[in-house]
Chains A and B, each alone.
Chain A
Amino acid sequence: MNKITFTLNHQPVALELDPSMRLLDVLRDHFKLTGSKEGCGEGECGACSVLVNGRVVNSCCLPLGNVNGQEVVTIEEFAKTKRYQVLKDAFHDEGGSQCGICTPGMIMAAESLLNQNPHPSDEEIRIGLSGNLCRCTGYNMIVKAVHLAAKKGAGLW
């Protein structure tokens, strides 16, 4: 079996695993990185969102083989950044997290959005987060949190 090599949270890794394995299972079972959650297992809910080369991706739909040579960042690593601090505080102040199962994924989606568009409009935020389901908040408090993060974190993105 060929080794699959990629960077995970800025560290090079080489794995001899079945390339058809879901990246989500590799992260959760092999690396014990359980911040990426499984909500649906078919790319609808976004609870398993990770960043691949800075863009948000559903890790439940990504075969391990496809990340060969790519840069994967999970919430555990992103949580060490200033951008995360700003997002976390904004989610707190606006009440953007309730049960929390969608929150790490939602924060990854917000990071991906702000990375591409540091000053998104309401509509752009709603489009940017539309791949991440939340059943608790009705989204408005999350949309407000992303606005607040964009404002408070101006210059970070």
Chain B
Amino acid sequence: MFDKSKSSPKIDHDEKCSGSARYVSDIQIDGMLFAKTVRSPITKGIIRSIAIPALPDGYYIVDHHDILSQNFVKMIYKDWPVFAVDEVNYIGEPIMLVVGPDKAVLETIIANIKIGYEETEPTFGFTKSAVTKGFKKGDVESAFSKAKTIIEETFETGYQEQAYIEPQGMLGYPEGDKITLIGSIQCPYYVKNAVLNCLGYPEDQVRVIQPPVGGAFGGKEEFPSTIACQLATAIAKIKQPIKLIFEREEDMLVTTKRHPSITKMRAALDSDNRVIGLSAEVSIDGGAYIGLSGVVLSRALIAVTGAYTIPNLTANGNVYITNTVPTGAFRGFGAPQMMFAIEMMMNHIPKRLGLDPLEFRLKHLAKQGDLTSTSGLFRDPIIMPKMIDKAIQISDYKQKMEKYAHDATRGIGMSFFLHGCGFTGSGETTIIKAKVKLRKDEHDQVYVLVAAVDMGQGCRTSLHRVVYQTMDLPPQQVTFDYPDTDDVPDSGPTVASRTMMIVGGLLARASLKLKQTWKPGIKQEIIEQYVQPSYVVWDEDKLQGDAYPAYSWGVNVVEVSVCPLTYQVKLEGIWSVYDVGKTIDERIVIGQADGGIAQGVAYGYLEVMEAKQGKLKQKNFTDYIIPTSLDMAPTETVLYDNPFAYGPYGAKGVGELTLVGGAPAVAMAIENAIRRPINRIPATPELIMETLGHE
């Protein structure tokens, strides 16, 4: 139970329980048609011929010939086509939509479409770089030249699927010259801007509305823009309402996932066994198109030292293009791979040198005033020592470590981590330029107008709370509806742990202004625009300076048992301590904490997705295993206040922080049990057996 003073009633709870909340697949429009996507069955090739059967009346084909302006999905690069033209680059690449009133007829038409391909040589693995980034800190060459010890290790991570329970989907309809899209999305303005680019329409002729979203986790950040461009093209051609809902199998095979990675680390230690230099080489698999992979790589490289300060550093990385499904945004955005690598590295070094791992890691922890990996400054207090003490105490970590030293079936692991809050670098000021609006009507009802999407994380409740609390109004006097781009300004995408810190911060300031200028019975409007704190200086080309305005911090402890016969891992307990600045709504933050660590831990030991020659081996919840209620262990979470001056009431980011430490904590627990190093996740029974078999 949560203290009512610390947790507001969840705005959308009743409609979600009763099933009356209308998600996109629940929405019906009279005369609505259905669309189904025709996709490439091959990894790479040239389209030589397309034969379409005679279409019954009322059925249509929509492909690249129907694109009104630009045939690419507007993100950062121009490489991702809306519809394939004459070549395909991965299994599942969309070639055309078939549209019509009866889903069964669509299936028959698709079965009779004959596409002739000339297959060409595909690329897999880390060979074809499309983006290279890197930076240096201090003098890493001299650190290595005077090192007493040099330790080198390699870390590998696999795909992870977001596995939101509501598959991707969208519907749209024409109204005169205008197209309205309603979709399961995280970023209404990403969708709107991508569609404007694709159709070449003026700004007021595309409208995007968010209905309730059944989970997203990054998977509905950039990917829905691809569906939106296809669907809007179809609506512009056919001029009827059309709905496009993915089935699970289609969703899993063709939507973006977490990047598989390989990270090579070399550490230079001095005679006091202190890490004086680190060199990291990061490779991530971007799939067939770059999409957001370049920015994922940036966040990964910046996160490479984790919660530690290492004075001399070189971090370089590449996004590799392969003929597999494009990878993209997923809660953590490059950081989970790096937290795994650096945490295992910092645990393995002392073990290899015969030192106490906990003591070794504590002495390298970042402190206020230290330089960050990109030579920015940790300006705010860092309370990790206090948080670690708390985690040790609530989990009984030290006693268990001693006890499990003599027990090969039990293990405990503890990860330290941070997460940069908000967009990396100058994105917030140069690209997003977030704007929020508060409107008061003549009855003194206040409306929150932002593009922030509640996809389950609860921002409709927590941002609502920020507004009514700041304005000292009863909750019912503040209305927060689902975003509609015709009504809300672009407050930015719902990503990067920025919603509370940035959007909430702007809303707090707007609320204060409205409160101070309040005129009863008169319509009022307040617009507030984001201004980066003046201390944030960032060089985007060199990746130097303050990569984030603030950092959230965390400690995760995971306890496991490992079956000596089958190597099956069972979670026995999970303890977490977080510094999220200030908890705005306790129930919501604990919800993020519980759900985040479930995904993070499962990434480390349970969730297996593999591609073989460009073909994913897992395609449904039958073979892509996410935790059930039986897999999860009880959690205990402690939240510490450490207010950030520019966040609302001191709040920083929450959503991603709770995921990034899970994998290293469970991997350390497993290696603690089996007494062998883990360098690859997920640490499945097969991997554990292999690890033990090597000796």
A residues apposed to B, CB below 8 Å: 28, 32, 34-42, 44-45, 47, 74-76, 79, 84, 87-88, 91-95, 97-104, 107, 122, 125-127, 129-143, 148
Contact string against A for B residues 202-213, beta-carbon threshold 8 Å, 1 for contact and 0 otherwise? 000000000011
B51 CB-CB contact with A under 8 Å: no
Give chain B nearest CB distance to A37 CB in angstroms: 7
B594 engages A93 (CB within 8 Å)? no
CB < 8 Å: which of A126, A133, A137, A143 contacts B626? Answer: A133
Docked-complex contact B630 and A126, CB < 8 angstroms: yes
If A44-B620, A139-B598, A141-B591 touch, does A98 touch B457 (CB 8 Å cutoff)?
yes
Q: Contact check: which of B23, B213, B248 meets A40 at CB < 8 Å?
A: B248
Rank and list the top 8 A-B pairs by shortest CB-CB distance, nearest first: A35-B19, A99-B456, A100-B16, A101-B214, A138-B598, A44-B621, A98-B456, A34-B26
Q: Are A133 and B588 in contact (CB under 8 A)?
A: no
Closest to B625 in A: A44
Using known A-B contacts A39-B248, A42-B620, A133-B165, determine if residue A139 contacts B18 with beta carbons closer than 8 Å. Answer: no
Establish whether residues A95 and B588, one from each chain, have CB atoms under 8 Å apart when the complex forms: yes
Number of interface residues of B (CB under 8 A): 60
Q: Which of B5-13, B311-319, B438-446 lies at the interface?
A: B5-13
Are A95's CB and B591's CB within 8 A?
yes
In whole Å, how far is A107's beta carbon from the nearest beta carbon of chain B? 6
Q: Which of A79, A87, A140, A143 gathers most chain B CB within 10 Å?
A: A140
Which residue of chain A lies nearest to B632 when distances are taken between CB atoms in the complex?
A139
CB-defined contacts of A140 to chain B, threshold 8 Å: 594, 632, 634-635
Q: How far is the CA of A92 from the CA of B2 in the complex (A)?
A: 10
B108 → chain A closest CB, angstroms? 16
Partner of A95, one of B2, B18, B21: B2
A-B contact pairs, 15 of them (CB 8 A): A37-B19, A37-B25, A39-B165, A39-B167, A95-B10, A98-B457, A98-B595, A99-B455, A100-B456, A101-B214, A107-B17, A134-B629, A135-B215, A138-B627, A139-B632
Is chain A's interface secondary structure helix, strand, loop, or mixed overall? loop
How far apart are the CA atoms of A61 and B166 in the complex, in Å?
17
Given A95-B2, A136-B591, verify A127-B19 contact (CB < 8 Å).
no
Binary interface encoding of chain B residues 549-591 relative to chain A, with 1 for a CB under 8 A from any of its CBs, else 0: 0000000000000000000000000000000000000011011
B57 proximal to A (CB < 8 A): no
B271 at interface, CB cutoff 8 A: no
- B28, A32: Cβ atoms under 8 Å? yes
Cβ–Cβ < 8 Å partners of B12 in chain A: 100
B272 at the interface (CB under 8 A from A): no
How far, in Å, is B162 (CB) from chain A's closest CB?
8
The answer to whether B19 touches A75 (Cβ under 8 A) is yes
Q: Are A135 and B18 in contact (CB under 8 A)?
A: no
C-alpha gap A20/B569 in the complex (Å): 40
Query: How near does chain A come to B312, taking the closest CB pair, in angstroms?
Result: 39
Q: Which residues of B contact A79 (CB under 8 A)?
A: 17-20
Decide yes or no whether B523 CB sits under 8 A from chain A: no
A136 nearest CB across to chain B (Å): 5
Which residues, 186 to 225 on B, are CB-close (under 8 Å) to A? Answer: 212-217
Question: Are B215 and A99 in contact (CB-based, < 8 A)?
Answer: yes
| Cα separation A100 to B596 with both chains bound (whole Å) | 16
